[in-house]
């Protein structure tokens, strides 16, 4: 019985610790010009240049020159209405497209994060891309993704290792239940070498589902604590039964 109690406590601590960790961001070379910046795939950042067909009221940060290296922190939404606009064009699930148009010096991407916050401003999940990685233009044309950033690959990985890898089915980023705002951060150096863009890629023409619809909500820490208490209760009951027998 002591072993069962120890396992219950261990599982509870592992589950709670997992909530505080950010999932990794993977980067893959876009093999063709499939992913384009459009009104359904709006920019998070552009510069120097323009962002194609932005939705009305869409918040975007642009760099028109002089900020090199570029370090971005862009917050989207602080009210359900703004996130409804986000969902209309992107949805709860999305990918990121990186359009690089360097002219002389290959650029370096670093410090990329996506973080989700609840109505109280508490971080309830996120993704992070750790290594500083050199990213080059793949000649896909202005407005098309040279690289796709995702939560991993659900299909076949090919083309090489690291930034040279390609994927046949990307795992999307998913906003957890209760999200009321999200931030995108990244650094790009030298950002002014050409018209670069970081844009969202929707899973469908208008995004899959709204933020407020989540069939599989993530357990809150309090719920996990109750689960651990319940497991300990089962252990105590089994001990009592063994004593009576």
Residue 213 has what pLDDT? Answer: 37
In a domain, 239, yes or no: no
Three-state SS string over 101-115 comes to CCCCCCEEEEEEEEE
Q: How far is Cα 108 from Cα 146, in angstroms, rounded to an integer?
A: 14
189 CA to centre of own chain? 21
Q: Give this prediction's pTM.
A: 0.75
Phi, psi of 90 (to 5 degrees): -125, -50
Residue 181 pairs with which residues in a beta bridge? 117
Q: Measured in Å, how far apart are the chain's first and last C-alpha atoms?
A: 15
Residue 65 has what pLDDT? Answer: 64
In a domain, 59, yes or no: yes
Domain encompassing residue 180 = 22-211
Q: Please list the pLDDT of the chain residue by residue as tens digits (245 residues).
A: 332 332 222 223 223 333 447 899 999 999 888 899 988 899 988 877 778 888 888 887 877 666 667 778 888 888 778 888 888 888 888 999 999 888 777 889 999 999 999 999 999 999 999 889 999 888 777 789 999 999 999 999 998 888 999 999 999 999 998 899 999 998 888 766 678 889 999 865 444 444 433 333 344 444 444 444 444 454 455 454 444 44
Residue 5 has what pLDDT? Answer: 30
Q: How far is Cα 137 from Cα 143, in angstroms, rounded to an integer?
A: 12
Q: How far is Cα 194 from Cα 191, in angstroms, rounded to an integer?
A: 7
Minimal CA–CA distance to 14: which of 224, 213, 206, 241?
224
In a domain, 195, yes or no: yes
In a domain, 169, yes or no: yes
Q: How far is Cα 51 from Cα 74, in angstroms, rounded to an integer?
A: 15
SS3 category, 193: helix
In a domain, 221, yes or no: no
Strand residues in 100-190 grouped as ranges (E): 107-117, 123-129, 133-135, 147-150, 157-158, 166-167, 173-174, 181-189
Minimal CA–CA distance to 208: which of 88, 41, 82, 118?
88
Residue 164 has what pLDDT? Answer: 92
In a domain, 178, yes or no: yes
Number of domains in the chain: 1
Residue 122 has what pLDDT? Answer: 95
In a domain, 106, yes or no: yes
Q: How far is Cα 111 from Cα 28, in angstroms, rounded to an integer?
A: 17
In a domain, 231, yes or no: no
Q: How many residues in the chain?
A: 245
Q: How far is Cα 51 from Cα 42, in angstroms, rounded to an integer?
A: 8
Residue 19 has what pLDDT? Answer: 43
């Amino acid at each position: 019985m002591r072993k069962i109690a120890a396992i219950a406590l261990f599982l509870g601590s592992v589950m709670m610790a997992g909530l505080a960790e950010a999932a990794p961001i993977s980067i893959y070379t876009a093999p063709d010009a499939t992913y384009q910046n459009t009104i359904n795939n709006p920019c998070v950042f552009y510069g120097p240049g323009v962002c194609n067909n932005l939705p009305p009221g869409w918040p975007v940060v642009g760099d028109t020159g002089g900020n090199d290296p570029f370090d971005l922190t862009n917050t989207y939404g602080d009210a359900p209405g703004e996130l409804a606009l986000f969902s209309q064009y992107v949805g709860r699930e999305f990918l990121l497209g990186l359009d690089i148009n360097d002219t002389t010096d290959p650029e370096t991407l670093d410090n990329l994060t996506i973080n989700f916050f609840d109505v109280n401003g508490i971080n309830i999940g996120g993704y992070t891309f750790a290594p500083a990685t050199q990213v080059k233009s793949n000649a896909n044309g202005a407005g098309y993704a040279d690289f796709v950033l995702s939560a991993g690959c659900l299909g076949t990985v090919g083309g090489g290792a690291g930034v040279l890898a390609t994927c046949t089915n990307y795992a999307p980023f998913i906003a957890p239940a209760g999200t009321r705002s999200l931030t995108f951060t990244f650094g790009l150096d030298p950002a002014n070498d050409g018209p670069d863009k970081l844009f969202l890629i929707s899973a469908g023409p208008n995004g899959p589902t709204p933020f407020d619809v989540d069939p599989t909500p993530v357990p809150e820490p309090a719920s996990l604590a109750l689960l651990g208490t319940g497991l300990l209760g089962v252990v105590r009951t089994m001990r009592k039964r063994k004593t009576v027998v």
